[in-house]
Structures are given as structure tokens and as C-alpha cells.
Structure 1
Amino acid sequence: MKLFRIPMRGSVLLWAILTQLLLCRNGVFAGNGTKACKLQDESASQRKVLERLEPLAGKSFSVTVKKEKESYTYVFQLCGDAGGVKNAGVIQQKTDSQDKPTITTIVGSYTSTKAIGGSDWVMLIYHDGDKYDSHCNNEARKAIIMISCNKNKEGDLEVILEDRDRQSDCFYLFELDSSAVCPPVQSQLSAGSIILIIGFCLVAVYLIGGFLYQRLIVGAKGMEQFPNYAFWVEVGNLSADGCDFVCRSKNREEAPAYRGVTTDALDEEPEERDDHLLPM
């Protein structure tokens, strides 16, 4: 048995290594995220803008545009190989109706990136694409991806403009809606409101849970179903006694209505017996 265990373990290990290599080649284990993008001018501000796009890292977006007999498919990937083309952030795939081979053109490379951001948008610029053949003085192509905040729509890539009718600084302009660039939602509740809500929730749980326990487990009826009824009754009585002691003053005798009459005169005089004056 030992003679067969070693080859089996070795084959399993070999298959595991091959599987990991295949997955890494396809970008499954691309754990670098936005760090794979190389900035033209490395700065903390641009790197911070790229970090906002971390939820989009590794995702691929595409759109197809048809012009007469030709169709152009654009593929965009954030800090990753678009369409499997090495170092390509945006590619263009041209096809026609004559079944000719698809022509792939690199529009921009993520190895030459520039990032500009606002409160609810990010503009990503990929430089160093393939050079034009007869436009823009044969300069390298450039892709500009405008990523705007949209919480209700995600991942729709659109081609806005291909500006190549100038002498220099030509570009492809794309637009993408994503919630990744939306500013964080700030809570409208104050600390006091949150404490009150938590307090009301705890009281509700106490009352409902205590009522069910008293009724279903203890079998109480009437007012005794109220949780800790005897305790709360005693608390109420003690509170009333304390309020009576603090807020009410002692009983005082009212002053007489007329001056010069003392309270002693108002005391009830003892009843005089005059039985001895009656005739016998």
C-alpha cells in the first residue's frame, strides 16, 4: 500500500499546482486589485482615487457599436488584462460581415494610468495604446473612462466619443455608471435619537417577552400578566409617597376672618351644666 500512496499524493499535488497556475493565468487570483495599475506620476492623491474603484477591480465591461457593415466591440477592465491582452486596460475588437479575422487594437494600457476624482465621479485615463495609422500624427491611442455615481444602475459601459480629427491629443471617451464612486451615506439621526430608538426597542422587547412568559409559562391572568407586576406596583406606591412628602406641605390652621380674634376664642368651650337651677 505504501508503494501506491507516494505516486498518488504526487499526482494530486501536481494537479493542484497546475490548477492554480491556470487560474492565476486567467486572472482569478489577481489579488493586487487597483495596485496593478501603474500611475504615470505616482502620488498619494491619485492612488487614493484608485482605491475608491477597488470594488470594480477584476471586473470586465464591454459594449458593441455597429457602423454599417462593421462592428466594434470595446472591452474595459480596471487594472487588469482586458480581453486577455497583456497590459491592455481597454481594447477594440473590429469585425465585419465577411468573416475576416477579428482585429484587436489596444486603446489604452493600465501600465500608464492617470486618475482624477471628485465627490461622486472618477475619471480614469489609460495612455500608451496602439498608435494611429493615419490620424493624430500617428500618436499613441488614449482611453478616458468617466465613472459616475449611480446607485440604481451598475456596469453599463457606453462609448461617448472617438475624437481623432485633430493633430494631437486624440482620445476615446467612455462612460460607466457605478455605485463604487458614490459618497458614503451619512446618517440623519442624532446620537440622542439613536439612544431613544434603542431604548424604545428594549422596552418593547421587555414588555412583549414578559407578557408572553407570564401568560404562556406562568399562566398568569389579568394584570398579573404584566412582567414584574408586584415590583412595578411597589415602585409606583413609593414614588407617590415620595412625591407627597416632597411636594406637599404640612397642614396649617387657617387664619381667622376677623382681626382681634385669636384662635383660642374659637376653641370649643366646655359645656356648662345648669341642672342645679331647675326647681326641684
Structure 2
Amino acid sequence: MMFEILSVVVLALASVNAEFKANCTHPCNCNGVSWEGKFTYPFYFSGEDSGMTYDYVFSPCGAKIDCGNTSKPVVICQSNRTSQANVVVGASSSVVWTFASESDTNQFTVTYRDGDNTYDEKTRKGVISVTVTAQGNPSFVFIGENPVNDNELDYVFAAKIPPGGVSPGIVGIVLICVVLGAVILYFIIGSIVMFQVKGARGIEVVPNYSFWKDLPFLIKDGFLFTFQPCLSGCSKKNTYSHLVSK
């Protein structure tokens, strides 16, 4: 009985610490984490392997990569600096996100599969071990090649990125789109109401037409009210009166 209890406890602990393979297929984001805004894409870097220097291009979030004559949606491309030969390391058509656990998104691995196999009949994969931390600057480095078996070859990378799922730039764009959409709906719906319900015609179908007509003058008045004291004070001549000694 005691052995069975210990076995259950060990299995439970193993399941808690087991890796979590997320049900995500997007190359840029998964489970609340995102590559968006972490680097400028396409992101260029270099690495060495077996005495050879290679240049790499990484672009998981939409920016296209020129990786020779290929129709694949390339995410990672390798270029031999000597021969200029290009190899597709990984594509967005087959992506696997693996996290340390279901609740831990600070350590995870992204695998971009469906790479080239034209040179040695080994299909390439880009395997990126990612650490999310607020310490230091973002980094992306090539670790080395790892022959998995006779048919697969892993290109291993390590990245360090700051926390945050969506970049501030994306949030700003979304807010601008929401505001513009609300303004457009305001004018469309308001014009329909003015035309159909109130019987307005011509320029008067614009909702709150008098307000929009006076808006430039209201802005001017607000500007003058805010800055006129400063302008007057700056241009005011010195009115100090000196004491006259007797």
C-alpha cells in the first residue's frame, strides 16, 4: 500500500514538472508570449560551426526572407559566407511551442520545422531555447548543429527576450484603429439619423454640425487661453522702478 502511494506521488510530481507542448501553430506568438517587438525583423546575426562562418536571418512575424529559390514560408535562413549558399533552416508551416510547464512561460522552446534537405537528405529544423527575463538586453545566438538521427538535423539557437506578449507599438496601432473606427461610425450613423429622423439636408446632415464648424475657433481660443499669459510675460518690458536716493 505504501509503495502504491509513493508511486502515485512520484507520478504526480513528474507530471507537474513535465514539459507542456502548447496547441499553437502560429510562428510569432503562443500562450501569452510573442516574438513581436523583441527584435527588428528580419533579424540578422552570425555564428560559427566547424570553422565556418554562417550568416542567419530570423523573421517569425511576417517580414519576408529571401533565402534562395524556395517557395517555403521561411522563418530561419542560413547563408554560407564563403559559398553564399542558402539553406532553409525552419519554416512557419510547421511550428511547435514547448513550455517548461503549462503555467511557466519564462522558459520555452520554439521549433521551426520543414527546412531544406537538399544537401545530405537530412531535414533541417530550427530549435530555439528561449528565456524570458527583464535583465539585460535581448539576444539571439547560434549554439551549433545537432544531428538527431539519419534523417534530421537540428540547428540549435538560444534567445533571451524581455517579458510582455504584445509590443507597445502594436497596442498603439490597435488604439488608433479603434478610435478612427469609432469616429467613422459616429459620422455614418449620425448622418443617417439626421437625414432619416430629423429631415436634415445638405451640410446639416453632419451630426453636431455647428460644433464641428466652430471647432477650429475653439481650439484657437483654448491655445490663446493656455499660452497667452506666458507669451505676454515673456514679451513684457522691464517695469522695475529704481529707488531715488535723497
Question: TM-score by structure 1 length?
Answer: 0.41
More strand by proportion, 1 or 2? 2
Specify which structure has the bigger relative contact order, considering alpha-carbon pairs within 8 angstroms and separated by 6 or more residues.
2
Structure with max Cα Rg? 1
Q: Which has the higher helix share?
A: 1
